[in-house]
Chains A and B, each alone.
Chain A
């Protein structure tokens, strides 16, 4: 009896203490939702400033930005320095690779390297890294590129990549080491890096043009900056992970600081650093293709032109080339990550020890020599190429014109446009700004807690104050619709695939491969199927974002600890019960990471989709590229970044809390 009394007392005491410290989280959320709903419902009688900020209240952020940049450019003369870099060392390197790869008339004024020599060299390196299959992929990619008649534009792209990737690697490695060495630097660059990783690529391009002049140099600079962040992160991660005993062994061997770094830390962090290299290469490729928007010649520019004139056959061929190059670079660099040194028996002759290096040189020299006498081995002329552009074009257009297919796409387009997308967009635009922001903050608070909610409030208020509210909401609308649609595709697909080892592996491989494609590629099927409109935009985002959702769903479900599923089996759970009450709850934090990536990807893609013709921030951003409105460009880019960061912070903090609560990692 006394027992009961005591626990009752305790309950009352905790209740009272709750009451005295303030409202509970649930109550706050209820109030916030109520206010948001009320604001929306009361729109007709709401004062104007709660519906949309009046023009007069909007600070001229773009003008301020311009002023800041003018100060940097004109008064600090920073542009003099950057232009010197652009016209000096950077241009020199770009010219050199351009001369070697496609014969630009610059130093060292060689003839372009014959395609057969490059293909053969790539095949030997491929064989060294991953056996016959990799050799076939590496050599085959170059053979395809040459035979299809895209050698020159592919080499234009590669010549920038060959400069940008090593530069990004070196700068990233250097900054990564500094961030590892000095914690304050690490803390200082972390937020900058997360902004850089969510900034739309158009915002990389215009400053690059203004500071580094138009053409390949600006393209290279934008590419380098774009690819640096993951290299920094991977370097720091790798160096931090070096086992303490290895470090102590180094110290006990009497290493000086420099010896420590060079002989102990960096080699021991090899794996992470090489993973960083892989990411650098892939990001560089993605960006190099996109630099077509600032007039950089190459595969991207050609693709842009072909899509613009609706030449689907050629677009498709270029798409295949870009995909092949992406897959090849990805597979080769990943093979390099897991390639571990193997010993030679003592007394192995030197030519055996260096067999691969010799074979590479031999293959290169042999084909250079052959190319001197055999013209086809040197270059493929337009007449000799196997391009089937026109035929493919007719084929694709023929297929699309089949009644059944046309009926389906027409119906989808009509249904999505009239019943889903446009009503949804109009609804979002109808909501008063104040209610909208409150709604987002409530969501952040509910999922992520106090900190993300505060950030959400600040970030979205800035978006409202930037004067681009409607365009931002349209951007958000495309992102949200696409992510919701891809959730309905990706999660069931992931669940289905995770049931068998075989299918998990297959779908994961497909996702891995799809993730290496430069995002630009995803526009091709969208335009093919739906032409130029909102549905094509959403469709291209949907294919792009379904990939991470599927992938993390599979990974989340597959990594549920075996003893938990076994416990469920032994408790007599049916497959469905097991999924709903054991596997999904445990997989949810991992799936949230996929969801987060999907949203970030969607923000990225929606900007690229400006090419199709949108009415959002991307469109405005693309317009700024033509001029010199740097301030406006930065403000627009910032809006995209702030919205993306809000979701990123909220979802990641939810996932982390959830993981901790479940006792996972």
Chain B
């Protein structure tokens, strides 16, 4: 397998809830709306979704409650059986795995963090974190060592012998994170991991999470209903509504070019300048290079605001970290992003 093949790839995935979903899906005419499906007594948890997640990428799935984001992620790990379509994880069609192979895949490759933590109340922090290792039959000494390692990683040293109810919400979620990391998974699912926490703790946990991700570089599917959180963390964002993906793109593109009115409504209140990077406004040069110092491509327009206002050039060159010229950015366009178009 090469680096380029997606880790998770799903094609036309459907998940219907109702009396006999498979037959219904087979007989269903194409392009039926969510409401008509509902009128027939079925709920479209996931509606015709096709997505790829590439290695090392952080895909954030965003949507309001009931939009199907949790359902979709549970399809990726086959906690839900899908009704139609196919999901390929690491080159394997997960719907074709038997019980043992599925258990194996979860034991070796997947980790998941839950909104309300899902800790086992009768086990200590140490035993909770070691739980997945215990399930795959690792010996007591090894799993203790590994568990202590991840507990240290999430900053819970000294709390190993505590029981979940003796910890604060933020600490409990650290245990959840540690548990999901214990088996060193390749794919990491996080289902609204921070939404049960207070705003201040949430911020702290997001920073903590970014630190971990920088260290570990995992492939991540992250669910949230908080657009700010999505923008802060994501490589790409998939916005869901009524089981379907409305748009799946980088934060810059979603803010600049919302694909549907629904996505536009989400982005309206957002300060675009904090999201859009210079890089995405770059247009190719038509032969002549603009003069003067180039702007760094990896900065947001907000970070470049002062320079942008003071600069007098119409076309401003943009260069990446290595100093390679990428092209030029139209100053007026950049100012529009910064100040809004009237």
Contacts and interface: CB of A to CB of B under 8 A. Distances in A.
Interface string B87-115: 00000000000000001101100111011
A268 interface: yes
A254 B132 contact: yes
A343 interface: yes
Interface string B168-181: 00000000100110
Interface stretch (A67-75, A241-249, A304-312, A572-580): A241-249
A116 B177 CA distance: 52
Nearest to A348: B161
A168 interface: no
Interface in B112-145: 112, 114-124, 131-132, 134-136
Interface in B282-336: none
Contacts of B163: 340-343
A290 interface: no
Nearest to A267: B122
A256 interface: yes
| Central interface residue in A251, A254, A263, A346, by most chain B CB within 10 Å | A254
B114 A248 contact: yes
Interface string B4-44: 00000000000000000000000000000000000000000
Nearest to A347: B161
A272 B176 CA distance: 25
B79 A253 contact: no
Contact of A263 (B135, B136, B161): B135
Nearest to A257: B99
Interface string A316-346: 0000000000000000000000001111111
A14 interface: no
A55 to B, nearest CB: 53
Contacts of B158: 346
Given A253-B135, A254-B103, A268-B121, A346 B160 contact: yes
A344 B158 CA distance: 11
B162 interface: yes
A343 B131 contact: no
Contacts of A251: 79, 106
A308 to B, nearest CB: 50
A97 to B, nearest CB: 30
A341 B122 CA distance: 7
Contacts of A246: 118-120
Given A248-B118, A249-B118, A254 B107 contact: yes
Given A253-B132, A253-B135, A259-B135, A343 B161 contact: yes
Nearest to B109: A254
A252 interface: yes
Contact of A254 (B104, B116, B161, B162): B104
A252 B181 CA distance: 12
Contacts, number: 82
Most buried by B among A243, A268, A344: A243
A255 interface: yes
B79 A248 contact: yes
Contacts of B103: 254-256
B232 interface: no
A252 B111 contact: yes
B136 A254 contact: yes
Contact of A270 (B115, B122, B160, B166): B122
Contact of B106 (A254, A270, A341, A342): A254
B77 interface: yes
Contacts of A245: 114-118
Contacts of A254: 103-104, 106-107, 132, 135-136
B135 A268 contact: no
Contacts of B166: 342-343
Given A270-B122, A343-B124, A252 B116 contact: no
B218 interface: no
Interface in A216-250: 243, 245-246, 248-250
Given A267-B120, A341-B163, A343-B163, A252 B131 contact: no
A13 B23 CA distance: 41
A567 to B, nearest CB: 30
A483 interface: no
Given A267-B122, A268-B122, A252 B161 contact: no
A264 interface: yes
B165 interface: yes
Contacts of A248: 74, 79, 112, 114, 118
Given A263-B135, A343-B163, A343-B166, A253 B106 contact: yes
A165 B215 CA distance: 55
Interface in A333-378: 340-346
B120 A252 contact: no
A270 B106 CA distance: 26
A263 B121 CA distance: 11
Contacts of B122: 267-268, 270, 341
Given A263-B135, A340-B163, A342-B163, A252 B77 contact: yes
29 contacts: A245-B116, A245-B117, A248-B79, A249-B112, A249-B176, A250-B120, A251-B106, A252-B79, A252-B110, A252-B112, A252-B189, A253-B106, A253-B131, A253-B132, A253-B135, A253-B179, A254-B106, A254-B132, A255-B103, A263-B131, A263-B134, A267-B123, A268-B120, A268-B122, A270-B121, A341-B122, A343-B161, A344-B161, A346-B158
What are the 4 A-B residue pairs with the smallest beta carbon separation, nearest first? Answer: A254-B107, A245-B118, A249-B118, A253-B132
